[in-house]
Every structure is written in C-alpha cells, then in structure tokens.
C-alpha cells in the first residue's frame, strides 16, 4: 500500500509539473519574444541624439514643418474647394425623389367656387398619392454664375501667392534666428578667447607682483578685467540659449532635440547677392504684387457678376416619375420646362451691389499701387543697408587686427616693466569692442542679405538647398 501511495503521489507530482509547464510556457515564450523583439523595434522610434543643421537645411525644415506654412497650405486647399463649389453651380444637378402622402381637399377652397351640381361632394379624399422618380435642373445661361466661377480662379491664384508670401517670410524669419544664434556662438568663441587672454594676463600680473616688478593694483585690475569677461561669457551663453529656443519654435522641433550647427564658420563669410536689377526683379517676383493683382481681377469679375444680375437667366428643369394611388397602379408622369428669370424691381439692391463691387475693385487697385511703392522703397533701403553692412565688416576686421596688435604690444611693455597694466586693460577693452563691432557687422550683413533676397522675392530660392 505504501508503494502504491508513493507511486500515486509521484504520478500526481509529474502531472502537476506538466500542467504548470503548460500554463506557464506561453507566458515564458511571450516574455522571451518581447526580449528579442523589443531591441530590434526600438531603433525605428529613436531619433538621432543630435540634428546636424545648416542654414539651407533649417530653411528646408521650416518650409515643411512651420505651422504658419501649414496654415497657408490649408487656406489654399480651402480656396480650391470654393472653386469646385462655384463650378458645381454651372453643372446639371439631378436628384431622386419619392413621396407617399394622404390627402384631403376642400373643393370650394381649392377651386374658389362651390360647384352647384347634385352629387358633387363638398370635399375629396382622403386619398393616397405616390410619386417616385428622378428630377433635374440645369442652368442654360447665367452670366452671374459664370463670372463668379471665373472670380474664384483668380481668388485661388491670389491664395497661392499669399502662400508664397508666407513661405518667403518664414525663410526670412528662419535665417534671421539662425544667424542670431550663429552670432551668439561667435560671441561665445570671442569671449572665451578673451577670457583665456585675461586669465593669462592675471597670472602674469601675479608673477610680476611676486618678482616685485608690479604692484597690487595691477593684479586687481587684471582680476576685475577677468571677471568682466566671464560676465560677458554668461551673457553670450544666455543669448545663445534664447535664440536656440526661438529657432526650435520656428522649425516646430521638439524641445529635447539637440542641434549641431555645422556651418557656424560660414557666419564670417560675406557672399554677395547676385541679382542684376533688384528693383525690376522685385516688381516681377514679389508674391504680394501677384496676390493683389489676382484680387484685382477677381474684384473686377465680381463687379461684372453684379452687373450680369440684371440680365435674363435661362434654365432647364423637370422630372419624370411614377404617379398613382398605389405603387402597383402607378403610371408615368413627367414635366420638362425652360425657365427665364428677369429681375424687374429689387428695391435698389442690384444697383447697390454694382456700386459696392466697383468701389471694392477701385480700392484693390489703390492697394496695388501702394504696394508697388512700398516694394520699391524696401528694395532701395535694403540695397543701402547691405552696402553699409559690408563696409562695416571691412572696418571691423581691420579694427580687430589692430586691437590684437595693441594687446600684444601692451602685454610686452607690461612684461618688461616699462609701464603698468593700464595699457593692457585698455587694449583688452579695445579688443572687446572690436570683436563686438565685427560680429555685429557680420550679423547686420547676413540679415541685410536675407532681407534683400526677401525684398526681391527670391528668399526661398536663395536659401533652400539645391535638391529642393
């Protein structure tokens, strides 16, 4: 009996282990599968830790992701649907109608008289009436609808020009913030160089004090100068962070996304703007002028549509259906008619609409002339600004070169004990001013170049990558 019980318990344990294995096995396999699948699936969801960016790449990214550009795209798509709606008014319409009604009518109310004949009832009904069949409507000639449809074409073209205006402004804004950040990076590099110089000069003053060549005031001056340069470094780093945040907003990028500016050295270049005749080019290319020109044409067509409302309108409509008291006893019926509508008296509405649309067309014409004058002034101003900034860049570079020479000479004089370090700190001030002047002039030149490209109407062409 004990052997039988022991064998029975062994069998139960084996069966229990098998049952547990069957129950747990799928979970273990599923966990192992996740362990194998998860690492392979994560790389597609993980973005690179650093986005390498150039000014052309930033512009391309802004034109794809900027929210203002996306809103402009939606506005253009809306205008396209408006054109489809206007076109549908010129096309035939068809519908299928079916109704089943119970009717009763008073003959005297229906005919206007009571028929004085015996047997003629006072009312008819109730009776059932069934109508089933298609109906249609087609405008034959309606000049108002034609003019309105033509106006929607110019409104769509104006919307496309407005979209291009948004793209041009987005390019200018992107380049401006990008250059502002490069300016901050250039300032950081310049200040770091001056911090290293101020640190070296402070150590030099301490060494000379130890040798008995200089005084304590020289060391204090050097330390104050070093503190000032460190403060400027903090300010420059703050400007870099602020401009980076603004650039991420324009590019519609994640706040956690890291950006590497691979063309930071290009900030110190001064490429020219290759436009033979900027003003003539601007008057041809500016999307604002195209938009107002298309709006002017649309306004003129709106006025012609208002005038056409006084003309006769012809249309064709009708129906074919089955009529009867029951579906099984219904017989065909139809009606086809040509209709003409001529307004005779509208209480002055049509004349007021003609006058209103005429004034709107005149207003847009004046706006177009004003915009041409504004474009002319903008192009001329940006040409002057660009040349002025280029001259300042040349002077700034010369000033930096002279300031570096002044620092070297004053440092040598202080090292030899000829004078105290007042000359050194003054030379450091001159170098700081020269660095700021050069970087500021380079920033002005880059912005002036972008603004001139925008004034001409070719900012997107100038700053997008060749592959776009």
C-beta separation of 239 from 247 below 8 A: no
Of 30-39, 90-99, 435-444, the poorest mean pLDDT is in 30-39
> Other CB atoms closer than 10 Å to residue 379's CB: what's the count?
24
Of 17-26, 260-269, 343-352, 431-440, the poorest mean pLDDT is in 17-26
Per-residue pLDDT, 29: 37
Per-residue pLDDT, 466: 53
Per-residue pLDDT, 401: 93
Coil/strand/helix, residue 438: helix
For residue 276, pLDDT over 60 is answered with yes
Residue 127 located in a structural domain: no
For residue 6, pLDDT over 50 is answered with no
Percent of the chain predicted with pLDDT > 90: 62
Residue 4 pLDDT level (bands cut at 50, 70, 90): very low
Full-model pTM: 0.78
Query: pLDDT tens digits, residue range 362-372?
Result: 999 999 999 99
Query: pLDDT tens digits, residue range 232-255?
Result: 999 999 999 999 999 999 999 998
For residue 23, pLDDT over 70 is answered with no
C-beta separation of 130 from 67 below 8 A: no
Question: What is the phi/psi pair of residue 425, to 5°?
Answer: -65, -35
Domain that holds residue 177: 53-96+141-313+348-463
Higher per-residue pLDDT: 390 or 9? 390
CA–CA dist 12, 35 (Å, integer): 34
Residue 175 located in a structural domain: yes
Tokens describing residue 168: 């041009």
Higher per-residue pLDDT: 132 or 419? 132
CA–CA dist 321, 202 (Å, integer): 104
- Among residues 149, 295, 178, 342, the alpha carbon closest in space to that of 246 is found at 178
Per-residue pLDDT, 49: 57
Residue 42 pLDDT level (bands cut at 50, 70, 90): very low
Average pLDDT in the chain: 85
Phi/psi region, residue 33 (left: phi>0; alpha: psi -120 to 50; beta: rest), is: alpha
Residue 237 located in a structural domain: yes
For residue 36, pLDDT over 80 is answered with no
Tokens describing residue 431: 């170098």
CA–CA dist 61, 98 (Å, integer): 55
Residue 48 located in a structural domain: no
For residue 203, pLDDT over 60 is answered with yes
Mean of the pLDDT values across residues 335-359? 93
Tokens describing residue 315: 């249309």
Per-residue pLDDT, 137: 92
Residue 312 pLDDT level (bands cut at 50, 70, 90): very high
Mean of the pLDDT values across residues 178-195? 93
For residue 298, pLDDT over 90 is answered with yes
Residue 149 located in a structural domain: yes
Residue 358 pLDDT level (bands cut at 50, 70, 90): very high
Residue 179 located in a structural domain: yes
CA–CA dist 198, 429 (Å, integer): 11
Cβ contacts of 216 within 8 Å, gap of 6 or more: 209
Residue 404 located in a structural domain: yes
For residue 207, pLDDT over 70 is answered with yes
For residue 295, pLDDT over 80 is answered with yes
Residue 216 pLDDT level (bands cut at 50, 70, 90): confident
The domain total for the chain is: 1
Residue 151 located in a structural domain: yes
Q: Where are the alpha helices (DSSP H) in 417-458?
A: 422-456
Give, to the nearest 10 degrees, the angle between helix 143-210 and helix 422-456. 170
Q: Which residues pair with 50 in a beta bridge?
A: 258
Work out whether strand 313-324 and strand 123-141 pair parallel, antiparallel, or are unpaired: antiparallel
CA–CA dist 212, 167 (Å, integer): 66
Whichever domain contains 415, its CATH number is 1.20.1600.10
Cβ contacts of 429 within 8 Å, gap of 6 or more: none
Work out whether strand 331-341 and strand 313-324 pair parallel, antiparallel, or are unpaired: antiparallel
Of 25-39, 211-225, 365-379, 382-396, the poorest mean pLDDT is in 25-39
């Amino acid at each position: 009996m004990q052997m039988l019980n022991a064998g029975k318990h062994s069998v139960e344990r084996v069966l229990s282990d098998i049952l547990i294995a069957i129950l747990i096995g799928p979970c273990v396999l599923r966990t192992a599968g996740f362990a194998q699948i998860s690492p392979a699936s994560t790389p597609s969801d993980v973005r690179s830790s650093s986005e390498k960016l150039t000014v052309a790449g930033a512009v391309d990214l802004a034109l794809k992701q900027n929210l203002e550009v996306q809103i402009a795209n939606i506005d253009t798509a809306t205008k396209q649907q408006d054109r489809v709606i206007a076109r549908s008014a010129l096309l035939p319409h068809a519908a299928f109608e079916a109704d089943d009604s119970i009717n009763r009518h008073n003959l005297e109310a229906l005919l206007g008289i009571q028929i004085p004949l015996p047997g003629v009832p006072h009312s008819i009904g109730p009776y059932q009436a069934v109508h089933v069949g298609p109906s249609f409507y087609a405008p034959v000639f309606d000049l108002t609808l034609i003019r309105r449809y033509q106006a929607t074409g110019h409104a769509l073209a104006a919307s496309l020009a407005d979209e291009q205006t948004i793209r041009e402004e987005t390019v200018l804004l992107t380049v401006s913030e990008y250059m502002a950040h490069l300016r901050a990076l250039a300032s950081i590099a310049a200040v770091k160089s001056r911090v290293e110089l101020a640190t070296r000069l402070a150590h030099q003053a301490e060494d000379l004090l130890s040798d008995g060549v200089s005084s304590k005031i020289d060391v204090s001056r050097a330390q104050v100068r070093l503190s000032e340069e460190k403060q400027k470094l903090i300010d420059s780093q703050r400007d870099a962070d602020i401009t980076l945040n603004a650039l991420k907003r324009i590019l519609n990028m994640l706040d956690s996304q890291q950006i590497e500016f691979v063309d930071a050295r290009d900030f110190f270049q001064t490429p020219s703007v290759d436009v033979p005749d900027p003003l003539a080019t601007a008057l041809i290319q500016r999307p604002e002028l195209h938009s107002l020109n298309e709006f002017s044409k649309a306004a003129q067509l709106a006025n012609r549509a208002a005038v056409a409302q006084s003309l006769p309108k012809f249309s064709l409509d009708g129906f074919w259906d089955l009529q009867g008291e029951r579906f099984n006893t219904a017989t065909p019926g139809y009606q086809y008619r040509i209709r003409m509508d001529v307004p005779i008296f509208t209480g002055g509405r049509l004349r007021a609409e003609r006058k209103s649309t005429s004034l709107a067309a005149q207003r847009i014409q004046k706006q177009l002339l004003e915009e041409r004058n504004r474009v002319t002034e903008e192009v001329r101003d940006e040409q002057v600004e660009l040349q002025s900034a280029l001259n300042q860049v040349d002077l700034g570079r010369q000033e930096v070169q002279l300031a570096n020479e002044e620092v070297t000479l004053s440092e040598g004089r202080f090292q030899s004990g000829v004078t105290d370090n007042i000359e050194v700190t003054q030379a450091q001030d001159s170098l700081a001013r020269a660095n700021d002047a050069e970087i500021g002039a380079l920033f002005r030149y880059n912005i002036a170049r972008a603004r001139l490209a925008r004034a001409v109407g070719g900012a997107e062409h100038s700053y997008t990558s060749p592959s776009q």
